[in-house]
A and B are shown apart, each in its own frame.
Chain A
Amino acid sequence: MSRSNGEPVISIEDLEVHFEKKDGFLGKSQTVYAVDGLDLDIYENDVLVLVGESGCGKTTLGKTAIGLQEPTGGSVKYRGQDIWDAKEGNGDVDIPYDEIRRSLQIIHQDPGSALNPNRTVMANLSEPLKKWEPDLDLNDRRERIISLLERVGMTPPQDYASRYAHQLSGGEKQRVVLVRALLMNPDLILADEAVSALDVSLRIEMMDLMLELQDLIDTSYLFISHDLSNARYISEKADGRVGIMYLGELVEVGSPERVLFDTKHPYSKVLRWATPDLKSDPDVSSVPPVRRIDIPDAVNPPSGCRFHTRCPEAREVCAQEPPRLLETDDGDRRVACFRAEPDHEYWDSDPIEDESLEVGGAGDDDQATADD
């Protein structure tokens, strides 16, 4: 299922999403730069995994990509048609907003609040069908839902269909949510940490299920995770791509082989160090390869390369200008770090020295960051 390099389903150009954080009645308002100047394309039948710590803007980027979050700058296009122009109807709209809306769906992290607690599984699932398939009568709708429930392994489906949300286990709820997204026959599903709330033993089952159904209804997945192992599993199994995000910017994107196991960007290396392996090899140092543990506040992000305040290899030039996401010579990977450009003036500017390696909130004050 190689990625067809045809016209992308979703193309994002120079995207900016800023939030207004108002402190109290008279307090001055601060702007949080959740996503800042980002380009991304998602193709047909593609699997793209976004990884990053909380507050890096991966969820905001995800929701913007499926038209749930309005960008403050740049554009989000669905097969060439700007989603928000279609919604407001300005300019000649060749793909109607309804069609766009229908083809971009979402699966949430917490199965607990993903289904309406007051209605049965059947009622939850028949609502979207009533809207999009008006010609179906009650029984057709029931039949289609029951066959899909069976398809995701919930047998006997009639029994599950008549249950309330709190009578299902976490794994079962997540499968009902998957069915709800599939009912729309979407082109792109945003799986926002869809497996991290499940039992360890169910995670692989859920990811396999999603990939298996991908062939059936040819949808792409935009998978969001804070856990590198989940990202590795689904991106390698689906031959997809992995993107590492830091403070609203994409710092490295490419095939899992390159990005996870032959990392170039210092921040990806830190994430790789932080992911525990089953058997720790003794030579990996227990001191974190980063100058400051806590993430800076997204309200006034550092200048130039945003990672320079924590990067062990940061140099003066890193604080002045932000690096661009550039192709590297070894295969399909783009990285935003001067170290990847052999003849950049980075190599002869002197390293940034600051006080001893202090881990934790000693230096900068890191308020709880905005939603990631």
Chain B
Amino acid sequence: MTVSETQFEHEPEQEIILEVENVSVEFDMERGTSRVLDTVSLDVRRGETIGVVGESGSGKSMFASAMLDAVVDPGILSGDLTYYPNEGEPVDVLNLSDEELRRLRWEEISLVFQGAMSSFNPVIKVEDHFVETLEDHGYDVDEGLERAHQLLADLYLDPNRVLDSYPHELSGGMKQRALIALGLLLEPNVLVMDEPTAALDLLMQRSIISLLEDIKEKYDLTLVFITHDLPLVGELCDRLAVMYSFQFVESGPTAEIIDHAKHPYTRALLNATPNMQMPLETMRPIEGASPDPVNVPPGCSYHPRCELADDLCEAQDPARELIGDDHDVACHHWEESADAIPFDRGESR
């Protein structure tokens, strides 16, 4: 059922910093092998903020782990992952030795989880987390702590108070920001964030998003923001990649995706996400449920829920093709999707 991706060539203005090609992750369960990532490909460009959008159960968290070659056992990661550092030749991540991989993680690419509540060791102080990371990567501790103070201040936190307290003494918002500071401690080039603000309050969520934009400029970062909250990434990201049933179904510049989404799932998702402007009548849920990784529907995995589905969709899984500048989609009938699934963004009221 899985067709290897035909090579679609984007002509990127910025050069690529992280190239994900035909990456798959498989778990063998009693009920059969479950493919939680199905030959996904994505080019992350230097200095951009790219959003990976997908509902829960679409495999987006697995994609985040795959980018750091940190898939939980007993998962098996295949395909190839190339990292292009600022200077020096490209690094083939999946064939790194353990020591090289240990250095790549956190020094080049770091990851911030959604579970900020439980990402700190409860029995040691926040400062110890910073010090041990610096020591184990051979960085100078004093200089590193100086940088930590600066990072925490940039994230509107009182460095001394936060560093000196135990994790259970901090509120959710403060822990999340401290986690981001920890992620940036070793001056990485890429920061992958998996639903970093999902567990936070509205106001805290929005202020962290606006903080991220300043942090990205100041520390010259590339951001990969993974979430299920479409409106949230609409503001933050330059480009979006939509994930459904463990595959990328569409990717392109944010405005292009929101105003001229071509894949039926993307359009249905836009219609189904409650937000402040859309007129009530056009909002409709998506029928059915997201597929189970062990028995993914044959052909295009969205066909059971898709209004445009015909037997071609059921027979053959469409490959992604370039349909506009920097906009690709994996659907046999992407031309008719616009009028089949009307979507009206509405005016901001």
Contact = CB atoms under 8 A, between A and B. Distances in A.
Determine whether A and B are in direct contact in the complex, meaning some CB atoms lie less than 8 angstroms apart: yes
Given A227-B202, A232-B274, A361-B157, A201 B55 contact: yes
Nearest to B213: A286
A138 interface: no
Interface of A: 53-54, 169, 171, 199-205, 208, 226-230, 232-233, 236-237, 260-261, 270-281, 286-288, 290, 293-295, 358-362, 365-369
Nearest to A228: B276
A231 to B, nearest CB: 9
A274 to B, nearest CB: 4
Contacts, number: 153
A361 B230 CA distance: 28
B280 A360 contact: no
B156 A360 contact: yes
B255 interface: yes
Interface stretch (B68-76, B216-224, B282-290): B282-290
Contacts of B56: 199
B41 to A, nearest CB: 25
A237 B280 contact: yes
Contact of A295 (B177, B201, B210): B201
Which of A202, A281, A287 has the most CB atoms of chain B within a 10 A radius of its CB? A202
Interface string B157-181: 1100110000001111110010000
A83 to B, nearest CB: 31
A271 B228 contact: no
A277 B201 contact: no
Given A237-B280, A362-B158, A226 B201 contact: yes
A281 B348 CA distance: 8
Interface of B: 55-57, 155-158, 161-162, 169-174, 177, 201-207, 209-210, 213, 228-232, 234-235, 255, 258-259, 268-270, 272-278, 280, 283-286, 289-290, 345, 348-349
A368 B168 CA distance: 9
A169 B288 CA distance: 11
Contact of A200 (B55, B201, B234): B55
B347 to A, nearest CB: 10
Given A171-B289, A288-B206, A288-B207, A233 B283 contact: yes
A278 B203 contact: no
B274 A233 contact: yes
Contacts of B204: 293-294
B57 A199 contact: yes
5 contacts: A200-B272, A229-B275, A275-B276, A279-B348, A360-B177
Nearest to A195: B274
A201 B274 contact: no
A200 B289 CA distance: 11
Interface-central residue, A171, A261, A360, by most chain B CB under 10 Å: A360
Contact of A366 (B162, B171, B235, B289): B171
4 closest Cβ contacts across the A-B interface?
Answer: A360-B156, A205-B285, A280-B235, A201-B286
A197 to B, nearest CB: 10
A280 B234 CA distance: 7
Contacts of A287: 210
B55 A276 contact: no
A228 B269 contact: no
A360 B174 contact: yes
A277 B213 contact: no
* Chain B CB within 10 Å, residue with most, of A208, A270, A278, A359: A278
A368 B172 contact: yes
Contacts of B285: 201-205, 208
A11 to B, nearest CB: 30
Contacts of B290: 199
A295 B200 CA distance: 12
A355 to B, nearest CB: 13
Contacts of B274: 203-204, 227, 229-230, 232-233
Contacts of B235: 276-277, 280
A277 B231 contact: yes
A270 B234 contact: no
Given A275-B276, A293-B204, 12 more contacts: A169-B289, A201-B272, A203-B272, A205-B285, A233-B274, A275-B206, A276-B234, A294-B173, A360-B158, A360-B207, A361-B173, A367-B169
B242 to A, nearest CB: 12
A271 B157 contact: no
Contacts of B171: 294, 361, 366-369
Contacts of A205: 285
B201 A233 contact: no
Nearest to B199: A54
